[in-house]
Structure 1
Amino acid sequence: MSEKSSKPTPRFTVITLGVSDMHASIAFYEALGFARKMRATGEAVAFFDTGGTVIALFPWDQLAGDATLPDQPRPKTFRGSTLAWNCSSVEEVDTVLDFAISCGASPLKPAHRTDYGGYSGYFGDPDNHPWEVVVAPGIEVGDDRRIHLPD
């Protein structure tokens, strides 16, 4: 960038998950209802529209190599990040958790009232990437499937 150019606009566009079994992970995310895009990539990489951002699935070892990180040992423990599925109601949280488990997710934490006045539970995808399913005070989920935060 030249000295006169403006600062780039920050944006979060894609989260790429390293997965052990592309076929099983693609089937799981399709079962959850995420729309797969760019199917021409086959099982080399898979992209899912999430309503504003994209989830990409990529073989674990290849993703590690691309980031120049070792792919072993593969952690079975918390990796320092979670994904979230924000909901509009307590009932929706329960419905989403039950639905995800029916699609093959692992239950990680039952839904419960939180200390901040919300309601939350967790499931793990086929590679145990943790997803929080949550309704939180002050966070509105719009008809556009995006969350809207107050200023």
Structure 2
Amino acid sequence: MTPRTTPRFDLIGLVVSDMAASLAFYRRLGLTFPEGAESLPHVEAELPGGLRFALDTEDTIRSFHPDWRPPTGGGRVALAFLCDSPADVDATYEALLAAGHTSELKPFDAPWGMRYAVVHDPDGNGVDLFAHLGR
């Protein structure tokens, strides 16, 4: 009998309603996706350490799970992007708002020692921007 191995965390995936809008948002945050991916049903970006970040359209999910519906209620995905400096948090936040995205939490100096802000991606997921203070 072959010994059982431990599963390895490999992918973070989001279901998106508008692939082009989601790609534009996450590209602004530095993720690299294939050129022309706006018309694809599934795309991936490689993250540091070999982890992958994937976007799937709602139609893609329904192709194998016909009863799937977007979640409602209070659950949310938590994604966080480390910025180079507190000023970079502010600049990234402002650039995303200028691109039409909405704010959940304006940049502030958090008591845990970080400059911190939250913006919404095109599907309303909160995306944290942060940088360590005092470095």
TM-score by length of 2: 0.75
Cα deviation, 1:100-146, whole Å, max 9, x if unaligned, reads 22333211100112121222110010001111101247xx9xxxxxx
Matching residue of 2:42: 45
4+ residue runs over 4 A deviation = 38-42, 64-69
Task: Summarize deviations over 1:14-52 as a string: whole Å, max 9, x none.
Answer: 211111112322233334442113867942112223444
Query: Is the CA contact (8 Å cut-off) linking 2:19 and 2:38 kept in structure 1?
Result: no
How far apart, CA to CA, are the structure 2 residues paired with 1:14 and 1:108?
26
Structure 1 pair 41–135 and aligned structure 2 pair: CA distance change class (3 A): closer
Distance 1:39 1:54, change over 3 A: farther
Instruction: Identify unmatched segments of 5+ residues in structure 2.
Output: none
| Identity within the alignment, % | 25
Q: Distance in 2 between matches of 1:80 and 1:131?
A: 10
Aligned length: 133
The change in CA–CA distance for 1:24 and 1:80 in structure 2 (over 3 A counts) is: closer
Are the equivalent residues in 2 in contact too, given 1:93–1:111 (CA < 8 A)? yes
Match of 1:134 among 123, 130, 134: 130
Structure 1 equivalent of residue 69 of structure 2 = 71
* Higher RCO (CA < 8 A, seq sep 6+): 2
Contact kept? 2:101, 2:120, Cα under 8 Å: yes
Counterparts of 2:80 and 2:64 in 1: how far apart (Å)? 25
Match of 1:27 among 15, 18, 24: 24
Identify the match of residue 36 of structure 1 among 11, 33, 37. 33
Question: How far apart are 1:54 and its partner, in Å?
Answer: 2.6
Q: 2:106 aligns with which of 96, 107, 110?
A: 110
- The 3-state SS of whatever aligns with 2:33 is strand
CA distance, structure 1, for counterparts of residue 54 and residue 45 of structure 2: 6
Counterpart-to-counterpart distance in 1, 2:40 and 2:52: 16
Alpha-carbon offset, residue 88 of structure 1: 3.2
- Paired with 1:46 and 1:125, the residues of 2 have a C-alpha distance of 16
The change in CA–CA distance for 1:42 and 1:70 in structure 2 (over 3 A counts) is: closer
Query: Where does the alignment leave 5 or more consecutive residues of structure 1 unmatched?
Result: 141-151
1:33/1:87 Cα in 2 relative to 1: closer, same or farther (>3 Å)?
closer
When the two chains are superposed, the root-mean-square deviation of aligned CA atoms in Å is 3.2
Query: Are the counterparts in 2 of residues 61 and 71 from structure 1 also a CA contact under 8 Å?
Result: no
